[in-house]
Structure 1
């Protein structure tokens, strides 16, 4: 059963609805969705503090495991406020390009965490002090995937500049594995800036199917406990030929 709470199609489709089942799990869930079935966030109304998606749980584990004393975070992409809320005890700068998304997170999903700045993430990041952030986390999607400006070499160089000397860039992307040209383009660019680039893939579906992947780029080998990675597994890095 689905009950729509908010629907609009201009300037882009945005829907909020309650449903009794998501991904085969039954319950009472509230969903934020863009067009083309692009789900941006899910709230378990019976357990509002629960983080339902696997990738935020894996990202938070990597952050805690690799720098337990981290304080400063730059987050691009707000959605319903899952990561924003989890980082409420840190010094976090949250960039969300769409005022409507920020408004809906408060009205329908109960977001009351750190303030959300309505600005393009790349533009806002360029204004930050060099060497400030322990982590930069990219969790920004629209109907076509990650916004193009967040996939450029200029953006990666800016992120590198704004991180501390031991800082880490974490990106949530959708890909088909290490031989996906899209994934390889990220890996190639980041490997030219960071000595360590690891890929983690959600263990779901068969080979060649699109799925959530996390790219971690930093300066030291990444530590993690497999049991805390929420079904994400480290995968073999792409074989990138010299150009």
Structure 2
């Protein structure tokens, strides 16, 4: 689907019933940020979109993902991005705003949600985005003809109820096969203490990717608070300068751990590919 229109905006308090989830989604104006909107599902805030300034990314974990996208290639070069979990398409809008014309694909399981978002929060003119309805993992096999991607963003995990078929080593291996040699797997992992999901996903990624790093607030690494980690998986050595750049980019404070620094969270076993 190529870009929509910048005209208009959502109706105040627009709502749609999501049959697959058995609850309603609503889109409401952000009263503190003119031109910005909040997507809520079942009364819980899920996404923030600034139509007036799409390079403004409100949530800290999404900002950290956006920062990794920024360092993947020189500025203004297009990025081929696969989004698994569409939400309000905040990152797809960011990529279009920062790297105009980048070819992107978004996979969303809830048909009603994707249609609602596109109706109420249209994409910027010129956006090159293919949207697909389906399960994040099962769609991977049908995306081989779109590969390779520079980045795959997975944003479906939240707490211990994560789908087992997405939280498995095999899923990461299948996703890695769609990445370019220098491409990055970016995973948002929301969790509560003792961070069981975070630990399992970092461990699974370390069996597939040569390099795995985690970004979050420093206190999160103590495993005493609920919050979000951004996991980064690479098939090449960690690029020089990335750590300093990602920490400096914030949001502040941001801590980055990789290699043996992650052993406390991901275990101290094999940290590279199983077949390396």
TM-score (norm 1): 0.81
Q: CA deviation at 1:139?
A: 1.6
How far 1:19 moved relative to its partner?
A: 5.7
Conserved 8 A contact 2:185-2:233:
yes
Contact 1:34 1:143 in 2 (8 A): no
User: Following the alignment from structure 2 to structure 1, what is the Cα–Cα distance between the partners of residues 189 and 69?
Assistant: 17
Aligned to 1:61: 67
Aligned to 2:113: 101
Describe the SS at the equivalent of 1:167.
Answer: strand
Show the counterpart of 1:229: 250
The residue number in structure 2 matching 1:77 is 85
1:107-163, CA deviations, whole angstroms, 9 ceiling, x for partnerless residues?
222335423111222112122338612211112257976443321122111012111
1:140 and 1:212, CA in 2 relative to 1: closer, same or farther beyond 3 A? same
Cα–Cα, structure 1 residues 124 and 10, in superposed 2: closer, same or farther, change >3 Å?
closer
Select the structure that is richer in strand: 1
Q: Which secondary structure state, in structure 2, belongs to the residue aligned with residue 52 of structure 1?
A: coil
| 1:166 aligned residue | 182
| Pairing partner for 1:125 from 136, 140, 143 | 140
TM-score, normalization by structure 2: 0.72
Q: CA deviation at 1:241?
A: 4.3
- Supply the distance in 2 between the matched residues of 1:20 and 1:168 (Cα, whole angstroms): 32
| C-alpha distance in 1 between matches for 2:40 and 2:159 | 10
Question: Equivalent residue for 2:171?
Answer: 155
Q: Where do 4+ consecutive residues of structure 1 move more than 6 Å? A: none
> Where in structure 1 are there 5+ consecutive unaligned residues?
none
Residue 237 of structure 2: aligned partner: 220
2:28 paired residue number: 18
**2:152 corresponding residue in structure 1:** 136
